[in-house]
Amino acid sequence: MADDLTTTADTLLRRAVDGGPRIPGVVAIATDRHGAIFQGAAGVRALGQDAAMTVDTVLAMFSTTKAVAATAVLQLVEDGRLDLDAPAKRYAPAIGAAQVLDGFDAAGQPLLRAPRRDITTRMLLLHTAGFAYDSFNADYARLVREHGQVPTGTGRRVSLDVPLLFDPGERWEYGCSIDWAGQVVEAITGRRLGEVMQTRIFDPLGMTSTAFALNEAMRARLARVHQRRADGSLTPLLSFELPPDPEVHMGGHGLYSTAEDYCRFIRMWLNDGMGPGGPVLTPETVRAAEKNGLGALKIRGLPAVAPARTNDAEFFPGMAKSWAMSFMVNDADAPTGRPAGSLAWAGLANLYYWIDRRNGVGGFWAAQVFPFADAACMAAYLDFETAVYDSRGRSAAA
């Protein structure tokens, strides 16, 4: 079974970097509860350069950061220091200033009003607080374009001072909620989010190449983000990096890491919160966090408001999907073989992962390509996930 998966997955990776439209470099790891059952890479870290993509290549992780930040939040709940259902302004007072955007007046000025209820940290983890992203929401894009709103990608504290799109708790909207959750962690602990993650997550899991800032050893293994053009060609963005010394450690998108490190994090979730250095979360917390937290609400596809950064994006169109803390949950068995109730999400530069706790298997597939939901990248990722389940006789979906 392992030999079959290795042969198939290696072929898929080579096809991804040699085909058309090609992907510059890709890394993929599948893991069970004990360790990697496949790991491989193909292509290069940057077009025009010789350095090969490898399983220890350092990547800008974008929104795959979110689950790590949520883990730090859940640890504080376990400690008795955070009540998920208390107003988040109890811990991070600045969030209490957020108002609801009720459109724009005839002169193009934002119409704002007070929210009908307080934002809670649970809402932040579930993306029901009312925050959005300018890449996926036209009103937020208008605030950036016409009113000087600072985008969250800058790493500046002022970028979090954005209005809500609706009253907290009323619907699901993907946005900067986990950045605010990181602010809750910092307020409670009195430490920067990266420091909390280092001592409570990275060290116990042996994640030695994960941080909000690149050190020398990480920079030497860094892959570069590429821009896909309309004709399918790729341009390496050699000067693009996440802010090197961000004012705010953005829990929603700011980490650098490797496929190897991220699969250590995935294994912790597969193993009921246990890592090689001891427990990171309790089994009770993991079981609570993996459940759909939206009730009857469902998540929706993400529209391409900023075409240079994202295409229209949706996993398994037509399938109902929910949200846990902080993962997408597929409500039915997926065509790849992933069973209902599994956890997953992605990062803006076409990074994807899944966590199937029922069967004890998960995986991470990553490129460094804009825009998000690149057709070649997403197809290659889904082919890889399918190959993992096919190698198991699709018993996982039975």
Q: Distance (Å, rounded) from C-alpha 310 to C-alpha 95?
A: 28
Structure-block tokens of residue 41: 């890479």
Q: Distance (Å, rounded) from C-alpha 54 to C-alpha 68?
A: 23
Contact assessment for residue 332 and residue 320, using Cβ atoms and an 8 Å cutoff: yes
Structure-block tokens of residue 133: 């992203």
Q: Distance (Å, rounded) from C-alpha 343 to C-alpha 326?
A: 9
CA-nearest of 60, 351, 57, 368 to 213 is 60
- Residue 174 known to be catalytic: yes
DSSP state of 21: S
Which one of the listed residues 63, 135, 159, 326 is annotated catalytic? 63
Strand order in the sheet with 369-370: 234-236, 226-228, 369-370
- Residue 233 known to be catalytic: no
Contact assessment for residue 290 and residue 266, using Cβ atoms and an 8 Å cutoff: no
- Residue 133 known to be catalytic: no
The residues near 239 (Cβ < 8 Å, ≥ 6 apart) are none
Contact assessment for residue 305 and residue 137, using Cβ atoms and an 8 Å cutoff: yes
Contact assessment for residue 213 and residue 244, using Cβ atoms and an 8 Å cutoff: yes
Which parts of the chain are beta strand (E)?
Answer: 25-32, 36-43, 59-60, 100-104, 110-113, 226-228, 234-236, 256-257, 274-275, 278-279, 321-323, 328-330, 343-347, 351-356, 361-366, 369-370
CA-nearest of 133, 96, 128 to 115 is 96
Which one of the listed residues 91, 133, 140, 174 is annotated catalytic? 174
* Residues with a known catalytic role: 63, 66, 174
